[in-house]
Chains A and B, each alone.
Chain A
Amino acid sequence: MKDIDWQYLRNAIITAVSLLLVSGGLVWAMEKWHSEVNDEFFAQERDFSSAKRRYDEARRNRAVYQQYLSEYRHYMDAGFIGEEQRLSWIEQLQELNEKYKLASLSYEISPQEKADLPALNVPSNITLNVSRMKLEAGLLHEGDAVSLWSELRNRSKGFYSLQECTLESTNLSRQASVQYRPYTAYVDMTCLLGWYTIKVAES
């Protein structure tokens, strides 16, 4: 070290150090500025991604709405969605009785309960309720039973599912041939069915 002529190197050292300081300062300042610009960029990028994501989700939702809305409205109008409409069922039965001039038509409806159909995998945001109905009728023939089921399906509020049905010939039919006479029963019908309604939470 004592061999070094610092005087000789002084200017070079000062110049080098100064330049390096200035360069270092320049790089530091630019890095800092760049970091700020970068932060702003990423913040804007996040906003952009968020806006795009919301928009895409809204588009998907709209597509889903468009796909399912008419069906949903149909089920609402059919009484499948919402509150049970027991009065409507009773009115419907009375109408059918008058129309087909049945010998008898009686019903027994049990309290509404939550339906237990594991095979359906009912989603957790939906409640599927069921009211059990026992329907007994005195019919002219088996064809009336078919008509009864069809009319109930098409015109009643709600959805019903037949669990079991028995059509039994009456004593009258065993004794004589079937003749059309209103309010006469040649076949006794006993059916067990479930009236289903769907409820969904409003958001």
Chain B
Amino acid sequence: MKHLLYFGGYRMVVLRWNAGTFTGAAEFEPNDKGYAAFERLARQEMRGPVRLLVDLIEEDFRLETAPHLIGRDRAALHKRLINRYFRLYPHTRLKIQERQKQGRRDDIVQISALTNSKLFEPWLEILERARVPLQGIYSLPVVGEQLLKPLGAEQQNALVINQQVPGSIRQSFYARGALKLTRLAPSGDNAEQQCDVIQDETQRTVRYLENQQYVDTRQKLHIYVIAPGGEHELLQQALHSDSRKEYHIVDKDRLGFDMGIKGPVPGRYVHWIFAHLLLGGKHYAPHYGTHKDRRYYYHFQARRALHAAATLGTIAAVLWSGSLAFDMYMLSVREQQMRVDAMRYTRGYEDIVRDISELNLDVNDVRDVVNLAEKLEKRYGATPEEMIEAVSRTLGNHPNIRIKNIKWVQTHDANHSFGETSREIDSRTSYMMKTGQIAYLYRKGMIEATVTDYGNNPRLAVEAVDRFIRQLRDRHEEYKVELIKTPYDIDPESRLVGRALSDNATRSERGADFAFVLSREIQL
């Protein structure tokens, strides 16, 4: 349940609000009995924040223009403005309503103050004693700015007339949605008297507004009179619109309905409507309220913050613990699975070890031995057979050539020579060979042979050898074939020794010897 305190200058009215509906009101006289009853009510019922809505004659408004500043400069200027008019009053307020449209575009500020706080101080003291959190003090005419929308008067020059307490009516002038002027005027107690008062007061107010240039004579002033439905006929007869003003008679219940108040607005007074504005859900910053006034509101906020922190902390702890618990559950499920898998792997490992343990050898040794043996066989397993076969096949076409000796060697020595020309090795290759980056294996054979049956014609012998060597080269390109000794060394730079044989020379004396080398270079 919420409570709104309404103070019209004399008695305190406590309005109860529950689930969007006003459920009752209590009035307290400003005497000991009233104070005591109010304090009892405050202690019993007012647990949450309360708002104090004041509707006082002793509320003074001023409009000023001030340079548009920001930050500390603006704060200092506003303080000076307040002090200029209301230095002695604790309950003051300054609001920037709008900026001028032209010129320097200064701010239009409204400064107001409650000039007789003694009227409501006793009630505030009770609230403090009862530790009731007072959220703030609200000015009824300022709250009335929120009425303009349901009245459809936001952009108009609107004069709103309403009655909250017997004996006085409030007139509040709003321009462009902001309060410019307000006053309380004495009123009669019955509807007829009310009509007369409204008629007179509005005339007066309109003239005043025109004189003060709040309104232009060319602009129509819309006057909204909020009254019970039963008084409308009377009001419509009494109040006549003209070129300068237009009256709108507003049914308070209809207005309340449009604003969402469930049920009719109690009584003939409309403070309920303002109360609904304040308690309807939208947040309003207080208009007035010293630190002392709001002390227990701050305490209330602190208590709520503590509760909120504790609740949030508890929720966070529960959620965090829940997530940990879930994580633990998942971990235990995975752990169980891993345990099963580990056992399976262990069994598998034991089975394999049983299978391969017979050799009692490291698997790497087995692999290395086999690889080494294969390499040895492949690189060093050659015999002269291949070369002898190559020569033999070619010899088949040269029956007059006979092999005498064969020397065969397999070596890494690049400088080894049977007399053939050495391969030229560039410096880079030489370096790579020295550092073991590359290696060569040389297989070579030196064959000494002789040409027979050449009819004692040296030319035939030379030609026979040439043919043989050429054929050997053509058929076996995998070998480098080099003739290192010819039957007759006809090089002009060589020394030539021989025997000039006659036709009678024996067969053995008639052989023309030559030698050649077959070689292969294999890069390892």
Contact = CB atoms under 8 A, between A and B. Distances in A.
A97 to B, nearest CB: 19
B368 A126 contact: yes
A161 B376 contact: yes
Given A41-B331, A165-B408, A118 B310 contact: no
Given A149-B385, A166-B407, A9 B332 contact: no
B406 A9 contact: no
Interface stretch (B6-14, B54-62, B104-112, B322-330): B322-330
A55 B370 contact: no
A99 interface: no
Interface in B174-231: none
Interface string A60-97: 01101101110110010000110000000000000000
Interface of A: 3-5, 8-9, 12-13, 15-16, 19-20, 22-24, 26-27, 30-31, 33-34, 37-38, 40-41, 44-45, 47-48, 51-52, 54-55, 58-59, 61-62, 64-65, 67-69, 71-72, 75, 80-81, 117-120, 122-123, 125-126, 128, 142, 145-146, 149-150, 153, 159, 161-169, 174-175, 196, 198, 200-203
A54 B349 contact: yes
B367 A161 contact: no
B411 interface: yes
8 contacts: A19-B311, A30-B325, A41-B335, A68-B367, A122-B372, A149-B384, A165-B406, A167-B384
A88 B374 CA distance: 22
Interface string B288-325: 00000001100100110011011101101110110011
B439 A119 contact: yes
B372 A69 contact: no
Nearest to B317: A23
Interface in B363-389: 363-370, 372-377, 379-385, 388
A44 B345 CA distance: 13
Contacts of A68: 366-367, 370
Interface stretch (B92-100, B247-255, B351-359, B491-499): B351-359
Given A44-B342, A164-B410, A58 B349 contact: yes
- Secondary structure class of chain B's binding surface, majority of residues: helix
B387 to A, nearest CB: 10
B125 interface: no
A64 B359 CA distance: 13
A200 B362 CA distance: 10
Contact of B372 (A24, A47, A123, A201): A123
A146 B316 contact: no
Given A162-B410, A165-B407, A174-B404, 19 more contacts: A3-B295, A15-B306, A15-B307, A16-B306, A19-B313, A34-B327, A47-B338, A51-B341, A62-B352, A62-B356, A71-B374, A75-B370, A75-B373, A122-B372, A126-B368, A164-B409, A164-B411, A169-B404, A198-B369
